[in-house]
Every structure is written in C-alpha cells, then in structure tokens.
Structure 1
Amino acid sequence: MNIKVVRGNPTPEELAAALAVVRARAAAAETAPPGAPSARAAWSDPSRLAARRLPQPGPAAWARTYWPGA
C-alpha cells in the first residue's frame, strides 16, 4: 500500500493517524461477510428517507412550508 501526500506537510503523528484509519477501514472491509451492504450503500439507500414521517395536509400545514426571504 502506497500513500502519497499531495498537499501540506503532515507531522509523523498525523501521518500515522491517517494510516491507522485507512488500515482499519481496509481490515473491516476484508472481514465483512460476503453480500453485506457497505456503509456507502446504507447511506444512499432511499428507504432511510422513507422512514421519516412526511408533513400531512391540515390546519397547521402552512407552518411546515418553506417561505424564501422570511
């Protein structure tokens, strides 16, 4: 694994911390069971948005609308 610093001048401690994160993520990806959804797939799953309750029409529905400039 090669890591190249393109900008900045990190200290050895900062570089070690970044490398530890990269290696931990790589190790977690290797130990995940086959077919398990990745964190990115879970984040982009549209069903996570559907879990929220959408505003319903009613007497106070105007309070949940967006009025630019207000």
Structure 2
Amino acid sequence: MIKVVRGNPTPEELAAALAVVRARAALAAAAAPSVPHDRDSWSDPSRIAAHRLPQPGPTTWARTYWPS
C-alpha cells in the first residue's frame, strides 16, 4: 500500500511514482536467487544433537553448552 503523506499529487504524478516502485520491485524479485541456500554446518542444528548429552551430575551445567 502506498500512502501520500504530504502534498497533493496529480494522477499522472501518482502513476509515475507507482510505476517506479513497481519496476524496482520487479527488478529486486528478478535479482533474488530462486534456489534457497543450503545450510552450512555451523547453523545446522543436527551438529549439536549428534553428540551424547552429558550425564547428570554436579558439573553437568558447565558442559551443556559446548558439545564435546
């Protein structure tokens, strides 16, 4: 949605502004990659779940963040 905040544009000026906005949106959509990027190993949640969880004990809290 486009809203005129200030001024009183003519229909021609409004049509020209809308044409520019639509052209920019079409250009951005064409430039965007259509194939999603593969996750790298750092952001893959299975890298953390692949390790065994530490057994309960007095020092378990210190080892829960970093997988060994």
Q: From the two aligned structures, give the one with the greater helix fraction.
A: 1
State TM-score, norm by structure 2.
0.47
Q: Which has the higher contact order (CA 8 A, sep 6+)?
A: 2
Q: Which has the larger radius of gyration?
A: 2
Please report the TM-score for the alignment, with normalisation by the length of structure 1.
Answer: 0.45
